Structure 1
C-alpha cells in the first residue's frame, strides 16, 4: 500500500484493493464496479485540490492534465503550470513514462499531449526547459524525423500511438501535463 494512489474498498466484504495509479474518474475497467465497492483517490495536502493535481508517492510529485485549449500555444503552457506552483512535466524515465501513460488512459484524448522537450532542428541534443540535456526518450519508430528546415521542435505524444513520442513543430497545440515536485525537508 506504500505506493498506492487510489483504492477500492468493500465494507461488506472487508476488502481493500490498492492501485498505484490515481484515477480522476472511477475506473470501471478494473473489475470493481459491482455494488458494494467504493472508489477513493488518495490525496496529499501538498497537492493542490484547488487546481486538480494528483499525488504520486512513487515520484514524490503531483501532476495534472490540462485539456486542449485552442486559444493557447506551447509558449503558454509553462507559465500556466508555473502559476499553479509547478512546471511543464519532465518525463525522464521508462517508469515515469509508463505511470503517466496509465494515468492518461482514463481520458479520451485524441490531440497531442505535450510536456518538456525541445530543440532546434540543426542541433543534436534535446533539452529540458532548464537547459539540461535530455537522456531518456520514448520515440515512435519513425521518430525523430530529420529535416533540413531550421526551426524549433517540441515533443508530443498521442494515445493512439501508445504514447510514443514524436518531434513536432512549435506551433502544434494539444493537452499538456504539469507537475509539482514535492520537496522533503
Structure 2
C-alpha cells in the first residue's frame, strides 16, 4: 500500500500527514527511547515514514519510536508524555498517529474509537467541562471495561500523570444514585473504588482516583482536579 507523506512545519514540531492520518513528531523525545509496554517491534526499517505507515496499518498502534541506529520501529498502544521516563538513544524519534478527524497531539485509540486529550491544569468539574465544550468536546466517557482499562494504561504510561486525580464524565445531580452522562444517557457501567460511591448529596461528580488505581470516586464538583476531554468522531 502506498502512503503519501506531507510534511508540515510547526513552531514546536513537525506533523507528517499520512493520507487521512496525522503523525505528530514529539520533539521533547528526540534521542529518547522508552522500552516498556511495546505491542510489537519491526526490524530492518530504513526510514521513519515507513514506521508511520506501519503504525497506521496496526489498528492498536497509538504511537511509534523510530530507532534510526537500529533501523527498527517500536509500536505502542499509549501516548507517552514524560520524556524523563526514558533513556538516551541517539537518533531515535517519537511520533503519534491520529485518523478520522482526531486532532494532532490527541490520544487516538482506533479500536475503541476514543479520541481524547489529558489536561494537566486543575479546574472544577464545571470549568473543565466548559473548557471541553469550547472545542466541541465533553469530559471523557467511560462506558465499558475496555475503555476503563485503556484510560488506566494511558494515565500510568507517564510519570507526570500517575498521582493526579481526573474529572471524567458522569453525574447524579438530578437524582441521587441515578448516574447519567453529559448527554442524558443512563450509566450502566461503573468502576468504583473501594468504599464508593459515598452517595452524599454533595458528591455528585466522577473522579478517576490514583489512590485506587484510577477506579472511580464520587466527589464535590467544586474540588479542582485535572480533567480529560473527549472528541466524538
TM-score normalized by structure 1? 0.80
* Residue 99 (structure 2) pairs with residue 48 (structure 1): no
Matched residues in 2 for 1:81 and 1:181: separation? 12
Partners of 2:142 and 2:148 within 8 A in 1: yes
Distance 1:21 1:109, change over 3 A: closer
Matched residues in 2 for 1:164 and 1:99: separation? 12
Q: Which residue of 2 aligns with 1:139?
A: 192
Count of aligned pairs between the two proteins: 174
SS in structure 2 of the partner of residue 92 of structure 1: coil
Q: Which residue of 2 aligns with 1:14?
A: 71
Greater CA deviation, 113-122 or 88-97? 113-122
TM-score normalized by structure 2? 0.65
Matched residues in 2 for 1:73 and 1:125: separation? 21
Q: Which residue of 2 aligns with 1:77?
A: 128
Partners of 1:121 and 1:151 within 8 A in 2: no
- Determine which structure has greater relative contact order: mean sequence separation of CA pairs < 8 Å that are 6+ residues apart, divided by chain length: 1
Matched residues in 2 for 1:157 and 1:172: separation? 13
Structure whose alpha-carbon radius of gyration is higher: 2
- Alpha-carbon shift at residue 164 of structure 1 (Å): 1.2
* Residue 90 (structure 2) pairs with residue 39 (structure 1): no
Distance 1:2 1:143, change over 3 A: same
Matched residues in 2 for 1:119 and 1:109: separation? 27
Matched residues in 2 for 1:60 and 1:164: separation? 21
Distance 1:42 1:25, change over 3 A: farther
Among candidates 88, 97, 112, match of residue 59 of structure 1: 112
SS in structure 1 of the partner of residue 111 of structure 2: coil
Partners of 2:194 and 2:212 within 8 A in 1: no
CA displacement 1:72-99 (0-9 Å, x = unmatched)? 4222222211211211110111111111
